[in-house]
Structure 1
Amino acid sequence: MIDVHTLSPWLWIAAPLAIVFAYTIFGISGFGSTIIAVPILAHWLPVTFLVPLMVLLDMSAAMLIGSKNREHVSKEEIKRLVPVMFVGFLLGVTLLVKVDPDKLRVALGVFAVAVGVHGIVNPVLHSTISKWWSIPAGLFGGSIATIFGAGGPIYATYLGGRLHDKNQIRSTVSTLISISAFSRAVLYAIGGLLLHWTIFAGMALLAPFVWLGLKAGSRIHTGLTQTQMRRVVGILLVCTGASLLVHVFG
């Protein structure tokens, strides 16, 4: 898949820094690692290597956050979202074959920027959105996760309109990421994308930096108020959407 002997020396500096930063964001919000790390590391490594690697790292990180904050997970929202999310996985496979991925990137980018700006300007949740929004959130989030490995912004947007507790939002999003990552890992294993020692070697080498990022992000998360947390998520959504649009039009 990759020849370790031809890797750039700069990768050994860039990869730890990118992973620490990506998982600091994950530790704060419960999502965002893949969409931050992959565009950076894709300068040196093939996406076919990075996506399976990030699935394994995300699954481990999400399980770590979820296990430590299990009491904050909204079981009601998990029950609503997960069945629809699996339908979204199947829809994503169809879209991946039939629809131009750049068009999907533009749609997700515009959506993330719009929602992010709204969250920054209006960080206080005055009313709760309907539980029926779980259907489009699950479908869209599952589809985007299948195609780009980045369903977190969709889940965070929905849960941000449903839940008033920042710990509930982060823990529930990370649980959804864990379920999504595990499901995709099974699919990648069946497809042969995980059957290479370099992926597991990369996971072992980067695991300490994932832990450092999660530790830093969790500390920042603890110090944030609910309003500040919504603004941080809003900024992250804007950056996420902007990066997707730059990828298409840049």
Structure 2
Amino acid sequence: MSDAFAIGLPGYAVIFATLLCAYVIFGIAGFGSALIASPILALYIPIAKIVPLLALIDLCAAVVNVSRDARKADWTELRRLVPLMVVGSLIGAAILLQSQPDILLLALGVFVVGYSLYSLSGLRPERSFSRVAALPFGSVGGVFSALFGSGGFIYAIYLSGRIRDKNAMRVTQTTLIGLSTLTRVVLFALAGVYLDTSLLWLALFLAPGMLIGITVGRRLTLGMSREQFLKLINVVVLASGVMLIIRYFA
């Protein structure tokens, strides 16, 4: 393995363990790997390399998950959300080129924290979203995926109010993340980011941790009730919102 990052053997061990834990969450929820992995990776790897590294590994994880359980995905919801996600991504890219969108980061973080706390409080009645709700959730998810690489928890809020079966929700979420990440991977590839062989070697080194993590996460999901699954999703969404607020003030 290349020593371009000068990580050292203990550092590689920490990174591998972190990625394994991150992809247990990904295997359960279909998103959230960056939430767990990024703060630790930033101690060892240049920040500019973390996003393309995780994008590549996320894409591989999504492909593995979808290949296992594609028949369980809700393709009706995917056909509804994917075009909106694409449009939102284009809008997000335009915003990024024209302005400083940091205030949007704070606004989204506050909304997500408030929503997840409300959901975890038990005060919320059982609810479901209408099909029309795909319009704001799909497009806003695309916008924030383009702006900050953070859109998975927005789709999770929508899907939790649309899909009853936890496995169908997990695979549908993973498929969305895979499609969203594919765009970023293609852009990074065109920009020559993956010509850095040290980055590719590191991704290859971490691949077994990713595979173990998503396998463990999938098995944990199979043993959960829907209520337990949704509670965990809301905890991950809450953590995502807190990280957005911290990122804004940092």
Interval containing the TM-score (normalised by the shorter chain): over 0.9
Distance 1:123 1:29, change over 3 A: farther
Question: Which amino acid in structure 1 is aligned with residue 231 of structure 2?
Answer: R
Distance 1:35 1:143 in 2: 18
Tell which deviates more after alignment, 211-220 or 231-240: 211-220
C-alpha offsets along residues 105-160 of structure 1, whole Å, 9 cap, x if unaligned?
21221122122223222498733211111111121111211222221101101111
Cα deviation for residue 179 of structure 1 reads 0.7
TM-score by length of 1: 0.92
The 5 A counterparts of 1:4-43 are 4=4, 6-7=6-7, 10-43=10-43
Identical counterparts, % of pairs: 35
Structure 1 stretch displaced more, 201-210 or 11-20: 11-20
* Partner of residue 113, structure 1: 113
| Counterpart in the other structure of 1:172 | 172
Instruction: Confirm or deny: 8 A CA contact 1:27 1:216 kept in the other structure.
Output: yes
Q: Report the 3-state secondary structure (helix = DSSP H, G, I; strand = E; otherwise coil) of the residue aligned with 2:189.
A: helix
SS in 1 for 2:194: coil
> Is this contact kept in 1: 2:5–2:45, CA < 8 A?
no
Of 175-184 and 10-19, more deviation after overlay is shown by: 10-19
Relative to structure 1, the CA distance from residue 124 to residue 213 in structure 2 (aligned partners, 3 Å threshold; closer, same or farther) is: farther
Task: Give unpaired runs (5+ residues) of structure 1.
Answer: none
Under a length normalisation based on structure 2, what TM-score does the superposition of the two structures give? 0.92
C-alpha displacement of 1:197: 1.1
CA contact (8 A) 2:5 2:44 kept: no
Counting matched residue pairs gives: 249
Residues 206-225 of structure 1: pairs in structure 2 closer than 5 A:
206-225=206-225
Query: One-letter code of the match for 1:183?
Result: T
What's the CA shift string for 1:8-61, capped at 9, x where partnerless? 555213211210111010011111012221222112212221111111100111
What's the counterpart of residue 69 of structure 1? Answer: 69
Deviates more, 1:139-148 or 1:177-186: 139-148
Whether the 8 Å contact between 2:29 and 2:170 is mirrored in structure 1 is: yes
1:104 maps onto 2:100 in alignment: no
Partner of 2:129, secondary structure, is coil
Provide closer, same or farther for how the CA distance between residues 36 and 148 of structure 1 changes in structure 2, counting only shifts above 3 A: farther
Cross-structure match for 1:202: 202
Q: Is the 8 A contact 1:92 1:146 kept in 2?
A: yes
Structure 2 gap ranges (5+): none
Distance 1:5 1:179, change over 3 A: closer
- Contact 1:34/1:149 (CA < 8 Å) preserved in 2? no
Instruction: For residue 96 of structure 1, give the secondary structure of its aligned residue in structure 2.
Output: helix
Change (3 A) 1:248 1:67: same
